[in-house]
Structure 1
Amino acid sequence: MNAPVHLAETVVSSQKSPDAQKRITMPNASTKPKHGRRSRRRQRDDPARNELVSSSLESAQQCLFNQDYGTAFVHYLLALNLAPVFKDFAKDSFRFTLFKWADELDSLGRIQDLFGCYEQALELFPNDEFILNSVGEHLFKMGYRDEAACHFHKALKMRPDYPEARENFYRVANWLVERWHFLMLNDRGRNQKYQQAIHRAVESGCNTVLDIGTGTGILGMCAKKAGAAQVFACELSKTMYELACEVVSANGLGGQINILHKKSLEMEVPKDIPQRVSLVVTETVDAGLFGEGIIESLIHAWHNLLLPPQSDSESSEPSATGRVIPAGATVFAMAVESPEIRRHHRLCFSSVGGLSLAACGELRSPVSCNTVPDDSMEPYTTERLSRLPGGYTALTQPFTALNINFNSVQELEGLSSRPVQRLWLPITKEGSLDALAVWFQLHLDRNNSLSTGPEEDTCWEQAIYPVHTTKDFALMLGDKLQVEVSCHDAYLRLCSVAVLRDGHEILLDASIPDQPDPGPNPNPEAQLCSALASLQTDHSKDFCLLESAEMALLNNQDYHRSFQSAVSKLFSHLKLANPRHVQDSSDPLYALDVSEGFSLLSLIAASQGHVKAYSSVEKDKQQEVLKKLARSNNIPERSLEFWLNCTEDDQGPLQRPPTEKLWSAIMLDCVETCGLIRQKLMDKASLARCLLEEGGRIFPERIVVHGMLVESDMLLLESAVQGKEPTLGFNIAPFINQFTVPVHVFLDFSTLDCRHLSEAAELFVLDLMDTNANYTTRQVKVKVTSAGRVTAIPFWYDIYLYEDISVSTLSHNSHWKQAAVVLQEPLQVQAGDWISLCVTLHKSTMSISAQPDNQPQPMD
Structure 2
Amino acid sequence: MPNPNAKPKHCRRPRRRHRGDPARNELVASSLESAQQCLFTQDYGTAFVHYLLVLNLAPMFKDFARESFRFTLFKWAEELESVGRLQELFDCYEQALELFPADEVILNSMGEHLFRMGFRDEAAGHFHKALKIKPDYAEARENFYRVANWLVERWHFLMLNDHRRNLKYQQAIQKAVKSGCTTVLDIGTGTGILGMCAKKAGAAEVYACELSKTMYELACEVLNANGMQSDIKILHMKSLEMEVPKDIPYRVSLVVTETVDAGLFGEGIIESLIHAWHHLLLPPQRDEKDSEGQSSTGRVIPAGATVFGMAVKCPEIRRHHRLCVTEVGGLSMAAAGELHSPVSCSSESNESVEPYTTERLSRLPGGYTALTEPFTALNIDFNNVQELEGLSSREVQEIRLPVTQEGELDALAVWFQLHLDEENTLSTGPQEDTCWEQAIYPVHSKTGFILKPQDELVVEVSCRDAYLRLRSLAVLRDGHEIPFEKREDEDPHDSRNPAPNPEAELCSALACLQTDQSQTTHFCVLECSEMALLNNQDYHLSFSRAIAKLVSQLNIKCQNQERECGPGADADVSNLLYMLDVSEGFSLLSLIAASKGHVKAFSSVEKSKQQEVLKRLACARNIPEQHLEFWLNNLEDEQGMLKRPSREKLWSAIILDCVETCGLIRQKLMEKASLARCLLEDGGRIFPEKIVVQGCLVESDTLLLESAVQGSEPTLGFNIAPFINQFTVPVHVFLDFSTLECKHLSDSVELFVLDLMNSNANYTNRDVKVQATSAGRITAIPFWYHIYLDQEISVSTFSPNSHWKQAAVVLQQPLMVQAGDWVCLAVRLHKSTISVSAHIENPSEQME
Structure 1 residue identity aligned to 2:313: E
1:144 and 2:131 correspond: no
Equivalent residue for 2:605? Answer: 617
1:554 is aligned, of 516, 534, 537, to: 534
Give deviations 1:79-102, integer Å, cap 9, x for gaps.
Answer: 222332222221111110011111
Find the counterpart in structure 2 of residue 121 from structure 1.
Answer: 96
> Using the alignment, how far apart are the partners of 1:214 and 1:37 within structure 2?
59
CA contact (8 A) 2:287 2:297 kept: no
Paired residue type of 1:451: S
Give RMSD over aligned pairs: 2.5
Contact (CA 8 Å) 1:330, 1:441: kept in 2 or not?
yes
Please state if 1:181 is matched with 2:153.
no
* 2:229 matches 1:249: no
Letter matched to residue 703 of structure 2: L
* 3-state SS in 2 of match to 1:751: coil
Secondary structure at the aligned position of 2:763 is classed as: coil
Matching residue within 573, 577, 597 for 1:586 = 573
In 1, distance between residues paired with 2:808 and 2:427? 29
1:176-255 counterparts in 2 under 5 A? 176-255=151-230
What residue number does 1:269 align with? 244
Shift of 1:49: 2.9
Task: Return the offset for 1:231.
Answer: 0.7
* 1:275 Cα deviation after fit: 0.8
CA distance in 2, matches of 1:368, 1:859: 62
Q: Structure 1's 96 and 327: CA in aligned 2 closer, same or farther, altered over 3 A?
A: same
Q: Distance in 1 between matches of 2:27 and 2:16?
A: 21
Shift of residue 41 of structure 1? 6.0
Q: Is the 8 A contact 1:574 1:695 kept in 2?
A: yes
Q: Does 1:633 align with 2:621?
A: yes
The corresponding residue for 1:799 is: 787
Which residue of structure 2 aligns with residue 731 of structure 1?
Answer: 719
Tell me, in whole angstroms, the C-alpha distance in 2 between the residues paired with 1:643 and 1:632: 22
Q: 2:373 aligns with which of 397, 414, 421?
A: 397
CA–CA distance in structure 1, aligned partners of residues 583 and 11 of structure 2: 69
Q: Which amino acid aligns with 1:570?
A: L
Amino acid at match of 2:320: H
Establish whether residue 432 from structure 1 lines up as the match of residue 431 from structure 2.
Answer: no
| CA-CA distance at 1:311 after TM superposition | 2.4
CA contact (8 A) 2:187 2:209 kept: yes
What residue in structure 2 maps to residue 12 of structure 1? none
Residue 74 (structure 2) aligns with: 99
Whole-Å Cα distance in 1 between the matches of residues 10 and 50 of structure 2? 35
Counterpart amino acid of residue 527 in structure 2: E
Cα displacement (A) at 1:538: 9.0
Helix, strand or coil: the match of 2:272?
A: helix
1:422 to 398, 401, 404: 398
Q: Are 2:444 and 1:472 aligned? A: no
Q: Structure 1's 538 and 654: CA in aligned 2 closer, same or farther, altered over 3 A?
A: closer
In structure 1, the residue corresponding to 2:378 is in which secondary structure? Answer: strand
Q: What is the CA–CA distance in structure 2 between the aligned matches of 1:424 and 1:61, rounded to whole Å? A: 78
1:48 deviates by: 3.0
Find the counterpart in structure 1 of residue 3 from structure 2: none
**Does the CA-based 8 Å contact 1:581-1:589 persist in structure 2?**
no
**Is 2:627 the counterpart of 1:655?**
no
**TM-aligned CA distance change 1:168 to 1:572, over 3 Å:** same
AA aligned opposite 1:487: C
Which amino acid is 2:404 matched to?
T
C-alpha deviation, 1:318, in angstroms = 5.0
Residues 60 and 350 (structure 1), Cα distance of their counterparts in 2 relative to 1, 3 Å cut: same
Relative distance call for 1:310 and 1:591 in structure 2 (3 A) is: same
Of residues 742, 758, 769, the one that matches 2:757 is 769
Structure 1 window deviating more from structure 2 (495-504 vs 665-674): it is 495-504
Is 1:751 equivalent to 2:739 in the alignment? yes
From the superposition, tell whether residues 527 and 197 of structure 1 become closer, same or farther in structure 2 (CA, over 3 Å): farther
Question: CA separation in 2, counterparts of 1:736 and 1:217?
Answer: 11
**Residues 1:513 and 1:734: Cα distance change in structure 2 (over 3 Å):** farther
Counterpart contact for 1:472–1:515, Cα < 8 Å? no
Q: Could you tell me whether the CA contact under 8 Å between 2:450 and 2:496 is conserved in 1?
A: no
What is the one-letter code of the residue matched to 2:801? N
Cα offset for 1:525? 9.4
**1:358-410 Cα deviation digits (max 9, x unpaired):** 11111111111135651010011100000000101111111001100101111
Residue identity in the other structure for 2:751: L
Alignment of 1:16-415 (within 5 A): 42-43=16-17, 45-311=20-286, 318-371=294-347, 374-415=350-391
1:765-797 residue CA offsets vs partner (Å, 9 max, x unmatched): 000001111111111000000111000000000
Unaligned runs of 5+ in 1: 1-33
Q: Report SS of the residue matched to 2:295.
A: helix
Partner Cα separation in structure 2 for residue 376 and residue 35 of structure 1: 73
Q: How far has the Cα of 1:539 moved from its partner?
A: 7.2
Q: CA offset at residue 471 of structure 1?
A: 2.0
Equivalent of residue 523 in structure 1, options 495, 499, 506: 495
Where does structure 2 lack aligned partners over 5 or more consecutive residues? 1-7, 503-507, 509-516
Secondary structure at the counterpart of residue 544 of structure 1: strand
Separation in structure 1 between the aligned mates of residue 214 and residue 465 of structure 2, nearest angstrom: 29
2:478 aligns with one of 490, 497, 502 = 502
Equivalent position of 1:711 in the other structure? 699
In 2: Cα distance, 1:761 partner to 1:699 partner? 24
- Does the C-alpha gap of structure 1 residues 634 and 232 become closer, same or farther in structure 2, counting only changes over 3 Å? same
1:432–1:470 contact (8 Å) kept in structure 2: no
Residues of 2 paired with 1:39 and 1:426: CA distance? 96
- Say whether the 8 Å CA contact 2:700–2:743 is kept in structure 1: yes
Query: Using the alignment, how far apart are the partners of 2:661 and 2:88 within structure 1?
Result: 34
- 2:437 pairs, out of 448, 461, 484, with 461
Distance 2:530 2:391 in 1: 35
Contact 2:121 2:213 in 1 (8 A): yes
Q: Aligned partners of 1:483, 1:46: CA distance in 2, in Å?
A: 84
CA contact (8 A) 2:288 2:295 kept: no
Looking at structure 2, the residues matched to 831 and 471 of structure 1 have their Cα atoms a distance apart, in angstroms, of 50
Partner in structure 2 of residue 492 of structure 1: 468
Alignment deviations for residues 523-562 of structure 1 (CA, whole Å, 9 cap, x no partner): 259999x9xxx9xx99736411111011111111000000
- State the distance in 1 between where 2:200 and 2:436 align: 27
How far apart in 2 are the matches of 1:852 and 1:36?
74
8 Å CA contact 2:694, 2:786 repeated in 1? yes
Alignment partners' CA distance in 2, 1:35 and 1:644: 74
* Counterpart-to-counterpart distance in 1, 2:628 and 2:241: 52
Q: Give, in whole Å, the separation in 2 of the partners of 1:362 and 1:613.
A: 24
Distance 1:524 1:222 in 2: 56
Q: Could you tell me how far apart the structure 1 residues matched to 2:847 and 2:213 are?
A: 47
> Matches of 2:357 and 2:846 in 1, distance apart?
46
Q: Alpha-carbon deviations, 1:689-720, whole Å to 9, x = none? A: 00011111100000000001000000000000
Q: Does 307-316 or 745-754 show the bigger shift? A: 307-316
| Alpha carbons 1:371, 1:486 under 8 Å: kept | no
Q: CA deviation at 1:210?
A: 0.5
- Once the two structures are superposed, what CA deviation does each residue of 1:37-91 show, in whole Å capped at 9, x if it has no partner? 9999654644333332222211110000001111111111222223322222211
For residues 534 and 845 of structure 2, what CA distance do their matches in structure 1 show? 43
Separation (CA, whole Å) in 1 of partners of 2:15 and 2:330: 85
Q: Please list the CA deviations of residues 137-189 of structure 1 after superposition, one character each: whole Å capped at 9, or x if unmatched.
A: 11111122222222111111111111111111111211110000000000000
| Residues in 1 aligned to 2:777 and 2:21: alpha-carbon distance in whole angstroms | 69
